[in-house]
Structure 1
Amino acid sequence: MSRAWTPAPGGAWVDAAPAGRQAALRLFCFPYAGGGAAVFRGWAERLPAAVDVRPMHPPGRGKRFHDALRYCLDQLADEATDALAPLLDRPYALFGHSMGASLAFEVAQRAQARGLPAPACLIVSGRAAPHLPARDKPIHALPDELFLDEVMRMNGTPPEVLEHPELVKLMLPVLRADFEAIESYRPEPRPPLNCRIVALGGSEEEGSAEATASWRGYSTCGFRGEMMPGDHFFLNGRPESLFALLNEELGRAL
């Protein structure tokens, strides 16, 4: 099914830096399905002062609530790369969780293909590499109740999001769009990335160790795989280990 869409201006995707801020490294953060920039609230206080944390704003949520949703991960990646291109005047890193990991990976691929500066590090969290087959059948076209049941079963979005009927009504179109984008994602094989890759998984999530290790061949500049305490949403539950690792890796990049 084709849908009309228009490109978003770069400023819609990423906020401007605070006045007078001259950080040494920018960290662009991509949220999971149904999530927005608020996922990364408080991150700046837990990372080195030299790191400029830039949460990404996908359409249809948060400050972009009235922007048209996207149903294709390639469209999202094209727009996000266009938005980031003017901001790559200093070292940067990419972080993405779940769907956001695939989106961050595609932005890194586009940066390489366009001859833009490569990230110092690509951190992919809670997501298998693109060559692994999907473990679950597509669910984005199911009736509402069945779709939400499957989202809960798959641990595809934080449970607290689905506990309030009024919030579910607002989030349902966003979740459907994001699940359609990731379920229709079929990237062609491409050369490995010329940046370090760090892959993270939740120790309590089935198949997470395999998913984390699956990224090993995607970089020519080093790989690190680590298991974090918790389930798929370890970044929300017990993030101490995550921030310890991020501080180490971003410090290395600095």
Structure 2
Amino acid sequence: MLNKWIKYECIRKNPRIRLFCLPYAGGNAMFYSKWSNNFSEDIEVYPVQLPGRENRIGEHAISEINELCDSIIYAIKPYLDIPFAIFGHSMGGIVSFELARKLAVKNMPLPKIIFISATVPPHILEKCEKTYNLSEKEFLKRLVGYDNINTEMFKFKEFYEYFLPTLRADFKVVETYKAAKEKLSCPIVVCGGNNDSFVPVEFLKEWNKYSEKEVQIKIFEGNHFYISNNVKELCSSIIQKNLD
């Protein structure tokens, strides 16, 4: 393992480009652990492991996006020696966008492209109701029906001790984010599910406000976690195509 911020990395003999993958709220690097199987031998996949999950379960999750992005940049800086791209799903999409923006501000290498998946664009996000600061009872109510949340977990002490604080911190990262007005100079590809009740297709189209280049929109069958049933197509026909 390269460092605690990178887990399940795929190291190639002669890499041409690296793809950093950022998780959804409450998610972890394991979500991307098999993605490398869908790419050619010159593309490295580096899942990013955030604090508060898996091998970092004993650490407090970071709830502020500036601190989170600065920490990620410090961690991945040694691996920006070749061209790279960033993929983020849901919360990971917001973090991916801000990460690219911060790299530009710091005059560091920029991603060749960023992939934003099932993510509400910042100007709409600012108008959404805040949930991270709700009482535990109300917060749990909001989680019921949220795609990929198994309410059976609510029965276990570990859920309240480890997972719930991390999930609440992740929600705060997203719900308190205010984007700068500058557009990114790097291309953006936006992906989503046609039955996503949290991020409808109309929202995805609004990402065209955030890049100086034309934003590609790719829609798949499925809900907010359409990605789980479309990994091969997403990786091979969408991501790899844009990395070539």
- TM-score, L = length of structure 1: 0.86
Q: Which of the residues 32, 43, 48 maps onto 2:35?
A: 43
Q: 1:135 to 1:237 in 2, by over 3 A?
A: farther
Q: 1:214 to 1:18 in 2, by over 3 A?
A: closer
Conserved? CA contact 1:27–1:52, under 8 Å: yes
Helix, strand or coil: the match of 1:201? strand
Helix, strand or coil: the match of 1:139? coil
Structure 2: runs of 5 or more not aligned? none
Q: Which residue of 2 aligns with 1:193?
A: 184
Aligned runs of 1:17-36 on 2, under 5 Å?
21-36=13-28
1:70-129 CA-to-partner distances (Å, cap 9, x unmatched) read: 111121111111222221111111000000000011110011111112111100001122
**Which amino acid letter does the alignment assign opposite residue 115 of structure 1?**
N
Aligned runs of 1:98-247 on 2, under 5 Å?
98-134=90-126, 136-153=128-145, 155=146, 158-160=148-150, 162-164=151-153, 165-166=155-156, 168-169=159-160, 170-190=162-182, 192-206=183-197, 207-246=199-238
Cα separation, 2, equivalents of 1:133 and 1:150: 17
Helix, strand or coil: the match of 1:74? helix
Cα separation, 2, equivalents of 1:103 and 1:38: 18
Q: 1:208 to 1:19 in 2, by over 3 A?
A: closer
Conserved? CA contact 1:24–1:50, under 8 Å: yes
Helix, strand or coil: the match of 2:180? coil
Q: Which of the residues 78, 82, 88 maps onto 1:86?
A: 78
Cα separation, 2, equivalents of 1:203 and 1:19: 34
Offset, 1:240: 4.0
Conserved? CA contact 1:200–1:227, under 8 Å: yes
Offset, 1:141: 2.1
Q: Which residue of 2 aligns with 1:62?
A: 54
Structure 1: runs of 5 or more not aligned? 1-9
Q: Which residue of 1 aligns with 2:240?
A: 250
**Which amino acid letter does the alignment assign opposite residue 253 of structure 1?**
L
Offset, 1:134: 4.6
Offset, 1:143: 2.5
Offset, 1:163: 2.2
Helix, strand or coil: the match of 1:123? strand
Offset, 1:19: 6.7
**Which amino acid letter does the alignment assign opposite residue 103 of structure 2?**
A
Conserved? CA contact 1:212–1:226, under 8 Å: no
Q: Which stretch shifts more, 108-117 or 167-176?
A: 167-176
Helix, strand or coil: the match of 1:137? coil
Cα separation, 2, equivalents of 1:77 and 1:174: 16
Q: 1:66 to 1:240 in 2, by over 3 A?
A: same
Cα separation, 2, equivalents of 1:49 and 1:31: 23
- TM-score, L = length of structure 2: 0.89
Q: What value does the CA root-mean-square deviation take over the aligned residues?
A: 2.2
